[in-house]
Structures are given as C-alpha cells and as structure tokens.
C-alpha cells in the first residue's frame, strides 16, 4: 500500500503557488472533500471542509457524496474512510503518517492474543490498522467506546487493544474488566501528575480536561476526560475562565476559535527534547502535501476487497450502536 511520500522543497513548483487558492480550485475541480483532525496544523484545519474527532470524521466519510476524500490526519483515518466509502478515491497527504498505537499491534499479534483467550470478544480502538480491525468484533473511538462496551453481552469477557490507558479508563467507567494490550500513545503517555500539580499551584481556579489516552494518575486528576471534540465542547460550555488542556496542542487552535474568551494552558509533555505535546505523525502533513495530494490524486489508500469487508463489520457495528445510543440520549433530553 505504501507509495512515495509527496514532498515540497523551496525549489518545487508548489512552493511558489498561492496554496490556499490552488487547494480551493482543485477541491472544486475534483469534487473533493477535505476532512481534517483537530491535531492538524491550523492552516489545514482552516481550509478543511470538516474538522472533527475520529468518530465525527468516520461519520462524515461514510455520508459524503464527493468523488474524492482527502483525509488530513493519520493513515488509519484514511483507511477508515476507504473502508466506509470504497467507491470513492481516498488520498492522504503523507503515507508515512502512522500512529504509535497502530504500530504496537499487528494482525499476527492479535491472532495470537485471541488464540490465548478464545472465549473473548475483541474490542479494538480505531487507532489500528485495517488488518487488525478485520480480526475484531467491535471498533471503538474514544467518543463511542463507553456505548459500545455497554452494548456487548455482559457475560462475555473482552480483549481490549491496543491502548492500555484508554482501556484502563474504560474499565473504570463501565465497570467491565478487560484484558488489555500494552500499547501507548507516545504523545499522551508523556503527561505527568507533577506537571498538572505545578500548573494548579499557579492557576488554582483552572479546570483540567484530558484525553483518555493519558496515564491513569493524570486521568484521575481531571475534571473532564473525553475525546478531542468532547474537550472542545467542555471548554465552550463550562462556566470557568481557565483550562489546562491535556491532549495534542494543535487542538488549541480550534478551542480558541470556538471559545475566544477562555484562557487555555497546554499541559506540557515530559519528553527531554520537546515539551510541546505534538504528534510527530500528524505533523508530517503540510499545506504543500495537501495541495500535491489533490493535484496528483495520490498517495491513494488501496485496500483489498475481502479485507475491507471484514474490517467494515466491526466498524459498522460501532456506527450503528453509537447512532442508536445518541438518538436515545437526545430523546431523553427532549422529554426532560
């Protein structure tokens, strides 16, 4: 599936173009939709047709009537778009944009894990390869995981892969014990309680919002734990002035747009070389590469049809269960 990486240098033709104008022209010309994750560079977020968390982006990819999807995120997100919309051309700016969670487990690893626990259901975080999804019973995102786990038969034990921190948080919230794969996100695992304590001493009134990929002691200190979109909604709706944000820092761009009056304090990572909490995989995407992906219609996500169909099953289960759960909540709110 790997193709050469699109690149632009100061001497390349892309460097001398008005990229925003060209991206806009090509998007119309190709009847393409640009989807972007909240961890993308602000310029990419601003030019995208839709910006969202993994669940919202999956829904958009399933329902768009565009001919081509340009997915600005990481590779597994482009794969999800292709699984859900096989008739569309799906391109991503950089085929090297992986994810440490995806890399932590292969389909062979999962088959061996299942063989050791043959009576278990497999619940797989969306941050995984199409091959791993194809070996799973349910796919979840951080926004849908609670609904999906609650919908599985209560007497069935669960293998949860590949994020052990998300898994631990889900065990606490749902009360379901699970056998966890030891994968981690290289960005969120750098958050520490010491960093939070330092910021709380300086800003005692600040509310803390973190992503559930963070380690358990960090999650335990938070006022809000949830997906990227839920963190944005929490800041917008909560009546406080200051917020400590424990997730990838590019999300601050979107929060500032939606809540310009709030003070945002990014939680620093503990990594020696960089305390910036940025995802190196997401950072591979640039406006130049987005332009080239639209122009050249590559690198393209190609998935074998049998593999795609097997991965679609657990993914579609997630979309159906989460849509039903959301509709029920909306009906309850309306009745109240």
Residue 228 binding ligand 13P, by CB under 6 A: yes
Cα 48 to Cα 51: distance, rounded to the nearest angstrom: 7
DSSP structure class, residue 283: G
Give the three-class secondary structure for 264.
strand
Tell which one of 281, 285, 288, 315 touches ligand SF4 (CB under 6 A).
281
Residue 127 binding ligand 13P, by CB under 6 A: yes
Q: For the segment 156-195, give every residue that binds ligand 13P (CB under 6 A).
A: 185
Backbone angles phi, psi at 166, to 5 degrees: -60, -40
Half-sphere exposure for 51 (CA within 13 Å, toward CB): 21
| Residue 6 beta carbon to ligand 13P: minimum distance, rounded to whole angstroms | 22
Tell which one of 66, 101, 222, 245 touches ligand SF4 (CB under 6 A).
101
Instruction: Name residues whose C-beta falls within 8 Å of residue 198's C-beta, 6 or more positions apart in sequence.
Output: none
Residue 102 binding ligand 13P, by CB under 6 A: no
The β-bridge relationship of strands 32-37 and 207-210 is unpaired
Cα 200 to Cα 207: distance, rounded to the nearest angstrom: 9
Tell which one of 79, 94, 137, 248 touches ligand SF4 (CB under 6 A).
248
By beta-carbon proximity to ligand 13P, the closer residue of 14 and 268 is 268
Q: Are 243 and 263 in contact (CB under 8 A)?
A: yes
Q: Binding pattern to ligand 13P, positions 54-73, x when CB under 6 A?
A: x-------------------
Residue 40 binding ligand SF4, by CB under 6 A: no
Hey, what are 62's tokens?
């399933």
By beta-carbon proximity to ligand 13P, the closer residue of 137 and 163 is 163
Residue 41 binding ligand SF4, by CB under 6 A: no
Count the residues of the shown chain that bind ligand 13P, applying the rule CB under 6 A.
Answer: 11
Kindly provide the residue ranges of all beta strands, DSSP E only, lying in 104-177, ordered along the sequence.
121-125, 138-140, 158-161
Q: For the segment 129-148, give every residue that binds ligand 13P (CB under 6 A).
A: 141-143
By beta-carbon proximity to ligand SF4, the closer residue of 101 and 267 is 101
Nearest partner of 182 among 156, 167, 163, 205, judged by Cα:
163
The residue ranges that bind ligand 13P (CB under 6 A) are 53-54, 127, 141-143, 185, 211, 213, 227-228
The residue ranges that bind ligand SF4 (CB under 6 A) are 74, 99-101, 127, 185-187, 213, 248, 279, 281-282
């Amino acid at each position: 599936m790997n193709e050469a990486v699109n690149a632009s240098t100061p001497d390349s033709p892309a460097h001398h173009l008005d990229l925003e104008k060209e991206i806009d022209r090509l998007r119309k010309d190709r009847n393409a939709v640009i989807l972007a994750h909240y961890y993308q560079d602000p310029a990419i977020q601003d030019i995208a047709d839709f910006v969202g968390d993994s669940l919202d982006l999956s829904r958009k990819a399933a329902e768009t009537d565009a001919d081509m999807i340009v997915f600005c995120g990481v590779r597994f997100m482009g794969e999800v778009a292709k699984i859900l919309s096989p008739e569309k051309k799906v391109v991503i700016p950089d085929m090297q944009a992986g994810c440490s969670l995806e890399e932590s487990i292969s389909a062979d690893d999962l088959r061996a894990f299942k063989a050791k626990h043959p009576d278990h259901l497999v619940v797989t975080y969306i941050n995984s390869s199409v091959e791993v999804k194809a070996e799973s019973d349910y796919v979840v995102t951080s926004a849908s995981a609670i609904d999906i786990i609650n919908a599985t038969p209560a007497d069935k034990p669960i293998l949860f892969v590949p994020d052990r921190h998300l898994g631990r948080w889900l065990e606490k919230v749902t009360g379901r014990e699970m056998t966890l794969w030891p994968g981690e996100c290289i960005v969120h695992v750098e958050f520490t309680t010491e960093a939070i304590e330092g910021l709380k001493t300086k800003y005692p009134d600040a509310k803390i919002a973190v992503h559930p990929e963070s380690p358990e002691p960090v999650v335990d200190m938070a006022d809000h734990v949830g997906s990227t979109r839920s963190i944005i909604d929490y800041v917008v709706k909560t009546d406080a002035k200051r917020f400590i944000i424990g997730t990838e820092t590019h999300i601050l761009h979107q929060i500032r747009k939606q809540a310009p009056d709030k003070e945002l304090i990014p939680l620093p990572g503990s990594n020696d070389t960089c305390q910036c909490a940025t995802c190196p995989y997401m950072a591979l995407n640039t406006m130049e590469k987005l332009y080239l992906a639209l122009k050249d219609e590559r690198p393209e996500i190609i998935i074998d049809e049998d593999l795609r169909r097997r991965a679609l099953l657990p993914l579609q289960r997630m979309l159906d269960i989460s849509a039903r759960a959301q509709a029920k909540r909306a009906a309850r709110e309306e009745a109240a």
